């Protein structure tokens, strides 16, 4: 068993230090050590998108990254998007478009939307589909999900 290491990173703009076995996944540490349970475990093998977070602004499947690789990085989870009582435009858009049923895939999809809008503030439909490729929704609300991403683009530029 490898020795525990101290890993220093930023999570939702706050410096965090965790002492942990280095091969544990970022997802595990977020949920179990930092109690940030908005990021979901779906497949555990990079195939569903439920565990998406931003790592230095880039969408990343947290189930597939070891915590050791996160030393010095800046992580944004779904809990870090709102500013006080004001939701991020992507969160607001998913609410307004009613783009969820059980909601299990929603945090990952919202993070995927934020990553897309950071690159493309007004994405077209092909760019939306491309960005959300790899996110699975078992409730099959894909039309509404695409509508929510379009709306997020509108809200974030108004
Ligand atoms: S839980 Fe990470 S991609 Fe499915
Ligand atoms: S809303 Fe249920 S998995 Fe997407």
Q: pLDDT 10s per residue in the chain (158 long)?
A: 778 999 999 999 999 999 999 999 999 999 999 999 999 999 999 999 999 999 999 999 999 999 999 999 999 999 999 999 999 999 999 999 999 999 999 999 999 999 999 999 999 999 999 999 999 999 978 999 999 999 999 998 76
| Among the bound ligands, the one closest to the CA of 45 | 1
DSSP states of 91-111 as a string? HHHHHHTT--SS-TTHHHHHH
| Among the bound ligands, the one closest to the CA of 104 | 2
Residue 104 C-alpha to ligand 2 middle, in angstroms?
5
d(CA 17, CA 20): 10
**What is the reported pLDDT for 112?**
98
Considering the entire predicted model, what is its pTM? Answer: 0.96
Residue 156 C-alpha to ligand 2 middle, in angstroms?
24
**What is the reported pLDDT for 141?**
83
d(CA 99, CA 34): 28
**What is the reported pLDDT for 128?**
96
Residue 62 C-alpha to ligand 1 middle, in angstroms?
7
d(CA 17, CA 101): 36
d(CA 118, CA 58): 9
């Amino acid at each position: 068993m490898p020795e525990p290491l101290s890993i220093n990173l930023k999570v939702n703009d706050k410096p965090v230090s965790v002492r942990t076995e280095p091969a544990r996944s970022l997802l595990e540490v977020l949920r179990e050590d930092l109690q940030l349970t908005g990021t979901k475990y779906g497949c555990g093998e990079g195939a569903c998108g439920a565990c998406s977070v931003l790592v230095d602004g880039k969408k990343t499947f947290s189930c597939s990254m070891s915590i050791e690789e996160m030393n010095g990085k800046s992580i944004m989870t779904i809990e870090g998007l709102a500013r006080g009582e004001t939701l991020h435009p992507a969160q607001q858009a998913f609410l307004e478009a009613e783009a969820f049923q059980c909601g299990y895939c929603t945090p990952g999809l919202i993070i995927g939307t934020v990553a897309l809008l950071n690159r493309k503030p007004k994405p077209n439909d092909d760019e939306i589909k491309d960005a959300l490729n790899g996110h699975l929704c078992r409730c099959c609300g894909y039309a509404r999900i695409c509508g929510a991403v379009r709306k997020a683009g509108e809200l974030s530029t108004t």
